[in-house]
Amino acid sequence: MRILQLNSLLTGGGTDDQCVKLAAGLCQMGQTVCLAGPDGREFSRIARDLGVPFQATPSEGPLKLRFILRAAHLIRREHIQIVHGHHGRDIWPTVLATRLSGRRPKIVLTRHLAKSPSSWLSRRCLLSQCDALIAVSHFVAKVLREGVYEPGSPTPERRSRSPLKGNHSKIHVIHGGIDTERFHPFEAAAQRQAWGLNPEHFGFVTIGGYDLPRGKGQREFLLAAARICENIPQARFLVVGRGNMKQILEADIARLGLTGKAWLTPYCQDMPAAMNALDCLVHPQVGTEAFPGVLLEAFACGKPVIASALDGIPEAFAAGNYGKLVRPGDVDELAAALAHWANQLRLNRSEQVALHERVSARFSLLALAGNVLALYRQLL
């Protein structure tokens, strides 16, 4: 099968990660796959490292015209059968490139976000222009089919998520996947040392961007930490990531009396080592969340997870079902969960391996690629 994956960003984040890993999985399954996108970006390098054939696109130009024309040329030259777009900003470039190519490949789009497309045109016409729309969780599919409304939410993007108009039978749920060959239990003493965690410490770690206005719940995480740190002296609280809330979070740490107990660390390039260095992943999301792969990565390394029970997070949590789901934004419940898990025995190696195998059976890259490939074949 001849497949073109289109991605005009490749700068980082869950969408780029899943796009590149899907392409890698399809390559491993013997498909003819090409990823087209801008060169010199974080995930264009990762794609090459994974052995994914890569075609550099020019600067987008007015109305993304150069990107569209380059994609149309690739579709025509390579006799592409499936064109797959991933970002919301790539919906219409994917459709237009396919139409301009003069060929008739099937158009597949993936919705990686737990909210509706932002434009009125997309909400009304998207389903009529594609052959299939992949939702990365059942919750995302619910948003697309029915809409989700929370008018009283303090988070504006949660207040109104309108459904798409059109043929909802084109919407297919395919969960994301992770590289379970890399994410598996192993000793990560060097990473713990780099983070400042001693052997006796119990490291609660939250991983993700922290951009205004609320990040991914890092401020709630620090508030909960402050409530238990005196009673659990071995606990340490790490915020791993990057974003424009750095000074706010550092001020929170000082104000809450967490100096020496909590700190920010730079974005970690070696995520398998990070997952094995922590003792419990904390994902206290307060915004929208489609399907967090970070939970799968922690489970695959044999670690417990404390996470908010919102949007698609419970679907990812069910992959390992080891830890605790808490009400979003409920600092008291989050603090109680932290206190409970700080006193639990760590899994032994055989238990960790069993948890890894359970995640790998359903959420490996090959499982993801196999599910998407089955959809491609159905369309053809």
What does each of the 380 residues of the chain score in pLDDT, given as a tens digit?
Answer: 999 999 999 998 899 999 999 999 999 999 999 999 999 999 999 999 999 999 999 999 899 999 999 999 999 999 999 999 999 999 999 999 999 999 999 999 999 999 999 899 999 999 999 999 999 999 999 999 999 999 999 889 999 999 999 999 999 999 999 999 999 999 999 999 999 999 999 999 999 999 999 999 999 999 999 999 999 999 999 999 999 999 999 999 999 999 999 999 988 889 999 999 999 999 999 999 999 999 999 999 999 999 999 999 999 999 999 999 999 999 999 999 999 999 999 999 999 999 999 999 999 999 999 999 999 999 99
- Sorted by where each begins, the domain ranges of the chain are 2-177+364-379, 189-362
The Cβ-side half-sphere exposure at 161, using a 13 Å CA radius, reads 26
Report the alpha-carbon angle 196-197-202, nearest 5: 150
pLDDT of residue 200: 96
User: Dihedral sign, CA of 314, 317, 319, 324?
Assistant: negative
pLDDT of residue 12: 86
The pair of three-digit structure tokens given for residue 136, joined into one six-digit string: 């990365």
Residues 6+ apart with CB under 8 A from 74: 4, 34, 36, 55, 80
Give me the helices (H) in 130-231, please.
138-145, 156-159, 189-195, 218-228
* Homologous superfamily (CATH) for 189-362: Glycogen Phosphorylase B; (3.40.50.2000)
CATH value of 2-177+364-379 in 3.30.360.10, 3.30.470.10, 3.40.50.2000, 1.20.59.20: 3.40.50.2000
DSSP label at residue 164: P
pLDDT of residue 81: 98
Taking a C-beta distance cutoff of 8 angstroms, is the pair 209, 215 a contact? yes
The pair of three-digit structure tokens given for residue 301, joined into one six-digit string: 């390394």
Is there a common fold for 2-177+364-379 and 189-362? yes
